[in-house]
Amino acid sequence: MISFLGELKLYRQQQKEIETNLYKRWGKMTEIQNTAIVDAVKRAAE
């Protein structure tokens, strides 16, 4: 029983790390997209 709880805790920790990495990557992608959109708008405005 104890080993099961330990494994569950480890699994949850790994899931959190994976989610954090995904959010970081998604954030970078979103930043790049937003920058591209802003650049396009600025060019269109000129």
pLDDT, one tens digit per residue, over 5-46 is 889 899 999 999 999 998 888 888 888 888 988 899 999 998
Confidence at 1, pLDDT banded by 50, 70, 90: low
* CA–CA dist 33, 31 (Å, integer): 5
Q: What confidence score (pLDDT) does residue 26 get?
A: 85
* CA–CA dist 26, 44 (Å, integer): 27
* CA–CA dist 38, 34 (Å, integer): 6
- Count CA atoms closer than 13 A to 37's CA, side-chain side: 6
